[in-house]
């Protein structure tokens, strides 16, 4: 956890580069697909940028048509599970000039060669990777929102509690 938090200065630099984006795509496989959904949700909620989380395995079924030099794509690419398939997804994004922000396992050199930005998280069990990969995504959303002048403590149109009728 501490290593993921130590990435904060780097995440802030990345946020500054993408704070004016209109859209953003998040991709993850296996345990990290829900992390992609959560990352997109947080960016939408507090920065008001249109963001979608998608299973990386299904990237070719729609989202790939949206990828161009204006589209930041956040890929959760830890070295567990479906790593080689995620690398293939990254290559597809790169060939379409998408801007790649990759969350990788510490020491990953393969994705570092392909991505525009790499944020490292420590090595861990595959089932625990979401605990680590979520942190830089939340920091990214936070910094982008603050840079855009959004109130992160009271996002517009969001209820602070759930009401059930």
What would the DSSP string read from start to end of 28-80? E-GGGHHHHHHHHHHHHHHH--EEEEEEGGGTTTTGGGG-STT-EEEEEE-SS
Tell which residue, 91, 89, 82, 30, has the closest CA to residue 61. Answer: 89
| Helix and strand counts by DSSP (H, E) for the chain | 6, 5
* 54-83 confidence digits (pLDDT tens): 999 999 888 999 999 999 999 999 998 899
Tokens 């984006």 identify what position? Answer: 21
pLDDT higher than threshold 80 for residue 46? yes
Q: What is the pLDDT of residue 60?
A: 86
4 pLDDT band, cuts 50/70/90, is confident
Q: What is the pLDDT of residue 87?
A: 97
165 pLDDT band, cuts 50/70/90, is low
Whole-angstrom distance, CA of residue 35 vs CA of residue 37: 5
* 110-155 confidence digits (pLDDT tens): 999 999 999 999 999 999 999 999 999 999 999 999 999 999 998 9
Structure tokens at 158: 């969001």
Q: What is the pLDDT of residue 157?
A: 85
Whole-angstrom distance, CA of residue 76 vs CA of residue 140: 13
2 pLDDT band, cuts 50/70/90, is confident
- What pTM was estimated for this model as a whole? 0.94
Q: What is the pLDDT of residue 162?
A: 58
CB distance 50 to 144 below 8 Å: no
Tokens 């780097």 identify what position? Answer: 10
**Given CA atoms 102, 108, 113, 118 in this order, what sign does their dihedral have?**
positive
CB distance 78 to 133 below 8 Å: yes
Helix or strand (DSSP H, E) at 139: helix 129-147
Exposure on the CB side of residue 110, measured as CA atoms within 13 A: 14
């Amino acid at each position: 956890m501490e290593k993921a938090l130590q990435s904060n200065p780097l995440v802030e630099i990345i946020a500054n580069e993408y704070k004016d984006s209109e859209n953003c795509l998040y991709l993850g496989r296996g345990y990290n697909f829900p992390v992609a959904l959560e990352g997109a949700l947080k960016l939408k909620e507090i920065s008001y940028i249109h963001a979608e989380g998608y299973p990386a395995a299904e990237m070719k079924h729609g989202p790939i048509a949206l990828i161009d030099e204006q589209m930041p794509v956040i890929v959760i690419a830890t070295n567990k599970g479906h790593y080689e398939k995620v690398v293939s997804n990254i290559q597809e994004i790169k060939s379409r000039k998408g801007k790649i922000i990759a969350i990788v396992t510490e020491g990953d050199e393969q994705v570092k060669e392909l991505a525009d930005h790499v944020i490292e998280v420590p090595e861990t069990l595959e089932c625990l990777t979401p605990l680590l990969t979520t942190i830089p995504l939340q920091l990214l959303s936070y910094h982008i929102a603050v840079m855009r002048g959004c109130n992160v403590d009271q996002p517009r149109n969001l209820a602070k509690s759930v009401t059930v009728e």
